[in-house]
């Protein structure tokens, strides 16, 4: 190639990419450069960045850093080409262009020319198209703006943890751009499918549920399906379906598994979810307090939002997995927002659950040795105490049946 269309070796040299960066970002370079436009890239311009700042509610220091990052890219041909390459990989390439390794990463990888903003801007490049999509679907812009608040959350996170004024979790932002993720008040909701190895049975009359583990599942004495190093198995679940009945270990109201199997008659009960059935995945962004009333309102909005704006999506339930659904949290903090939040759901033990996310969310760094973890909050002190006692933390699962009667109000 000539200088007008540099090869990736030139890109690597000019942008000081390390080996991991080359592995992540090299594939597809020749294809993207073959369609590199000869006009300014809209997603690098000041007005585009200003629109992102407005929607995401970025604080002035973060807004200034994003504008300065865009200006730096505009001034460098190689950074402009790299930004285009990222945009092409994320938003324009098709299956015919080949399957590439993940483009976006939170790993410790050398940023191209030290500019982390290139990934954020490339991720958000389809924003004008996304706004039109929202308009066609009748979705208020407020939902989009609420979703893009994640940019502010992850930018604040990067500043707190690494001293970087930029977003290091652009993978998550990409969900909003696809779009398959929608922020409805305190919580976020995403198109999904039921892939959990938990059998959900619904009584044929009424709304009563039983969540039953599959067979041959290792369970701890406390009722967790844990995978923490050193966690011991107390029993292994059984499951059988015969003679018009199913027998297995159910989830107890607190979200642990019962050591005593139960038997359900299939004349009275039916399996409600099958592997691959459509569901709404719920996510819990950081930031605002986890107030039960606000979360209940978000869930109510989700019940209305998807049938109104995506009537073709015939979901059957709302599901979530999170460190916040560990039953031990409610035991330690029975009057807390966390315990109240848990009370909104049917809880069940999550497969292969570990305490990694608990340590990451509570301490900031999941790999910190216990003698070095912060002890500024009650929650931090509880998590450390629990671990020092030789106990384990776990992610848990939460489930809500879709209401049979959808009452759709006029507004989102």
Residue 221: count of CB within 10 angstroms of its CB: 11
Whether 297 has a pLDDT exceeding 70, the answer reads yes
Q: Concatenate the DSSP letters of all residues of 280-294 into one string.
A: EEEE--SSS---HHH
Please tell me the number of Cα atoms within 13 Å of 319 on its side-chain side: 23
Q: pLDDT tens for residues 4-45?
A: 678 999 999 999 999 999 999 999 999 999 999 999 999 999
Whether 107 has a pLDDT exceeding 90, the answer reads no
Note the maximum CA span of the chain: 74
Tokens of 43: 């997603």
Give CA–CA dist 31/84, Å, rounded: 11
Ranking 89-98, 310-319, 376-385 by mean pLDDT, the lowest is 89-98
Whether 148 has a pLDDT exceeding 50, the answer reads yes
Beta bridge partners of 257: 251
Strand duo 235-236 + 245-248: pairing: unpaired
Q: pLDDT tens for residues 207-240?
A: 889 999 999 999 999 999 988 999 999 999 999 9
Are 143 and 184 in contact by the 8 Å Cβ rule? The answer is: yes
Q: Looking at residues 94-107, what average pLDDT do you find?
A: 77
Q: Looking at residues 395-403, what average pLDDT do you find?
A: 93
Are 150 and 172 in contact by the 8 Å Cβ rule? The answer is: yes
């Amino acid at each position: 190639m000539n200088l007008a269309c540099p090869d990736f070796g030139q890109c690597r040299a000019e942008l000081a990419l390390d080996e991991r960066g080359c592995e992540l970002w090299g594939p597809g370079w020749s294809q993207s450069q073959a369609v590199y436009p000869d006009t300014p890239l809209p997603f690098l311009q000041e007005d585009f960045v200003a629109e992102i700042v407005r929607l995401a509610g970025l604080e002035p220091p973060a807004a200034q850093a994003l504008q300065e990052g865009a200006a730096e890219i505009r001034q460098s041909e190689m950074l402009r080409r790299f930004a285009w390459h990222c945009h092409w990989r994320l938003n324009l390439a098709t299956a015919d262009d080949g399957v590439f390794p993940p483009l976006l990463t939170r790993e410790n990888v050398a940023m191209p020319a030290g500019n982390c903003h290139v990934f954020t801007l490339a991720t958000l490049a389809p924003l004008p198209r996304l706004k039109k999509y929202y308009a066609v679907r009748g979705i208020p812009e407020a939902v989009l703006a609420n979703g893009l608040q994640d940019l502010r959350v992850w930018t604040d996170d990067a500043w707190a943890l690494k001293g970087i004024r930029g977003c290091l979790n652009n993978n998550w932002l990409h969900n909003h751009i696809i779009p398959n993720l929608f922020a409805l008040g305190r919580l976020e909701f995403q198109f999904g499918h039921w892939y959990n190895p938990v059998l959900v049975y619904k009584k044929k009359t009424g709304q009563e549920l039983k969540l039953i583990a599959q067979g041959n599942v290792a369970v701890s004495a406390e009722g967790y399906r844990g995978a923490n190093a050193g966690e011991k198995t107390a029993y292994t679940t059984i499951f059988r379906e015969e003679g018009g009945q199913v027998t297995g270990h159910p989830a107890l109201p607190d979200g642990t598994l019962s050591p005593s199997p139960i038997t359900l008659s299939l004349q009275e009960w039916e399996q409600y979810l099958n592997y691959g059935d459509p569901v709404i995945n719920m996510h819990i962004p950081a930031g605002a307090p986890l107030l039960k009333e606000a979360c209940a309102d978000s869930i109510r909005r989700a019940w209305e939002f998807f049938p109104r704006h995506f009537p073709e999506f015939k979901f059957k339930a709302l599901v979530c997995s999170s460190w916040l659904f560990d039953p031990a949290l409610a035991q330690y903090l029975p009057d807390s927002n966390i315990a109240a939040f848990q009370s909104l759901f049917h809880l069940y033990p999550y497969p292969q659950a570990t305490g990694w996310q608990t340590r990451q969310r509570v301490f900031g760094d999941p790999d910190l040795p216990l003698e070095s973890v912060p002890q500024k909050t009650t929650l931090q002190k509880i998590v450390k105490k629990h671990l020092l006692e030789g106990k384990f933390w776990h992610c848990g699962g939460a489930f809500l049946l879709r209401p049979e009667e959808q009452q759709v109000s006029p507004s989102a």
